[in-house]
Chains A and B, each alone.
Chain A
Amino acid sequence: MNKANMEKTEYQNLKEAGWRRPLTAAERARLREFLAAHPEWQETWEQEAALTGLLRRRPGAAVSTNFTARVVQAAQRLPVKPAWRRRLEMFPWLPAGWAPRATLATAMVCCGLFSFHEYGTLRRVQMAREVAGIIREPGLPSIDWLENFDTIDRMNKVEVADDGLLMVLQ
């Protein structure tokens, strides 16, 4: 930052300080130094200071002497809120008024139902995809191969040979 910019920033800081409070002796000295180096800013500063003076000179509002007592009394007269209301206040993000709250509750219920419905649909689609996948599997044997399954199965279960039958057959 060059010197001119630094001086401008310094002037800006002094100006902003002057908006809020009277400048300290050190600040006034710095200001005089700045204005001596930059006389073109003299008029602007004088207007700033004059406006600050005008605004400060304005009388503040006079508050009634019994203001505090009145406020405390009014606060103590406030009705005690029912328990449900106090519990409701634990959720400050809830909108105020019954209509927005009812809308919010309805929206939440609708969201829940929709999510449940979507979940069911998704599960059914997934199951159908799995079944279709098994059916389309090329490595599985044809169903015709199982035509003599029962006979073959029964033959495997015969543990003792039927000698009578073998004799007749011979």
Chain B
Amino acid sequence: MDPDAALMLRVKDGDVQAFEHLVEKYKHPIVNVIYRMLHDLDEAEDLAQNVFIRVFQSAGRYEVSAKFSTWIFTIARHLCLNEIRRRGRHPAQSLESSQSDDPEQAPRQYPDGKTFSPPEAFLHRELEQKIKQALEELPEKQRLAIALCQEDELSYEEIARVLGCSLSATKSLIHRGRETLKEKLKPYLRSGAWEEPENETLPEKRC
């Protein structure tokens, strides 16, 4: 049996420690996917918290029918899309926009492990901004497919299940999304740079 499903069955029996294990294991991938969808760290954490609360609340009727990871990412997908729709309906209430006007609530700053010289840092920031913008302009499903594709926990088949598409449709979504990104980021895609760098993650925040 999927070890995470076994943990979930323990949660069903009221084992809080099993729930803690699940949160610990999935917090980074879930926050990451939501962050890549919303580009708002605070919102990503809040939404991720909601995802785990939903998991806890649904423990009573949990049945081992699919992999736990597929299930939790599907919950995250639903909450993410709901949030995007809510933002679409109430754009003025977006946390990102309200924060930028309020110096007391300026967006959080995180130290970047990598040190750049000033021109490099400027280019790095610009590139980061361009990638973010290009990703934001992608249709929701393509963006989500690309975000899920970056998570090691999920195979292509599982990504397809989370998205509710066939395997070929999922690969097609990723392909089309990447084609659009390549088009938009063309000037930044260095020719011949296909040595893949290590994945960098920012250090954890201290609260």
Binding site for B on A (CB under 8 A): 16, 18-23, 43, 45-68, 70-72, 74-76, 78, 86, 89-90, 92
Contact = CB atoms under 8 A, between A and B. Distances in A.
Contacts of A86: 60
A67 B56 contact: no
28 contacts: A19-B174, A46-B191, A47-B186, A48-B194, A49-B193, A49-B194, A50-B194, A51-B185, A53-B193, A53-B195, A54-B127, A59-B112, A60-B35, A60-B201, A61-B31, A62-B41, A62-B202, A64-B204, A64-B205, A64-B207, A67-B23, A67-B48, A68-B20, A71-B27, A71-B49, A72-B19, A75-B16, A92-B61
Contacts, number: 144
Interface stretch (B1-9, B76-84, B146-154): B146-154
B131 to A, nearest CB: 6
B108 to A, nearest CB: 9
B21 to A, nearest CB: 9
Contacts of A58: 128, 131
B144 interface: no
Contact of B52 (A18, A61, A75): A75
Contact of B178 (A19, A21, A45, A57): A19
B182 A71 contact: no
Nearest to A89: B61
B192 interface: yes
Given A64-B205, A71-B52, A89 B60 contact: yes
Interface of B: 16, 19-20, 23-24, 27-28, 31-32, 34-36, 41, 44-45, 48-49, 52-53, 56-57, 60-61, 110, 112, 127-128, 131, 146, 149-150, 152, 156, 171, 174, 178, 181-182, 185-186, 188-197, 199-207
A71 B192 contact: no
A78 B205 contact: no
B63 to A, nearest CB: 9
A54 B188 contact: yes
A59 B199 CA distance: 8
A56 B185 contact: no
B149 A20 contact: yes
A136 to B, nearest CB: 61
B205 A60 contact: no
A57 B190 CA distance: 14
Given A75-B52, A92-B61, A67 B131 contact: no
Given A70-B49, A71-B53, A62 B110 contact: yes
